[in-house]
Amino acid sequence: MTMDVVEIQEILPHRFPFLLVDRITDIVKNESLVGYKNVTIGDNVFQGHFPGHPIYPGVMILEGMAQAGGILAFKSMEMTKEEAAQKVVYFMSIDKAKFRSPVKPGDRLEYRISVLKHKGAIWMLKGEAFVDDKLVSEAELKAMVVDK
């Protein structure tokens, strides 16, 4: 299953400049998701991080993982579009975050999310971010799907 940015926006409330997932290339419900964000010099964060030496902020990588994880949770739950429209994903914690290599303009940041545990509305996920198949960041994410 693939999703373009229009389909992503049907699930996530985020919009420019804070929508950090461009496309989903694979979803296995209740198991895993692969998606990506194209990092460009036009991203607003590069105005201040850092002028003359642009590095994509780690916190933005984590937020992209969280957004991808939210998509996985939503697509794994058996909901109609109408039911899903009344829900939102809140992140409860981000643990064991590590940054292994800088991400720069021109990179394609690939998010690989897998379910560690799921019970009811609570999801525990492992997030990994890659550039050219090289691990650049990882974290464990905990989220809850709630009513708006």
Q: 49 an active-site residue?
A: yes
Rounded to whole angstroms, how far apart are CA atoms 43 and 27? 26
Element spanning 59, H or E: helix 58-76
- Cβ-count burial 75-112 (b if 16+ within 10 Å, e if not): bbbeeeeeeeeebbbebeebeebebeeebeeebebbbb
Contacts of 147 (CB under 8 A, 6+ apart): 86, 87, 88
Instruction: From the candidates 14, 49, 53, 118, give the one annotated as an active-site residue.
Output: 49
Rounded to whole angstroms, how far apart are CA atoms 35 and 31? 14
Phi, psi of 67 (to 5 degrees): -65, -45
DSSP state of 44: G
Q: Which residues are catalytic?
A: 49
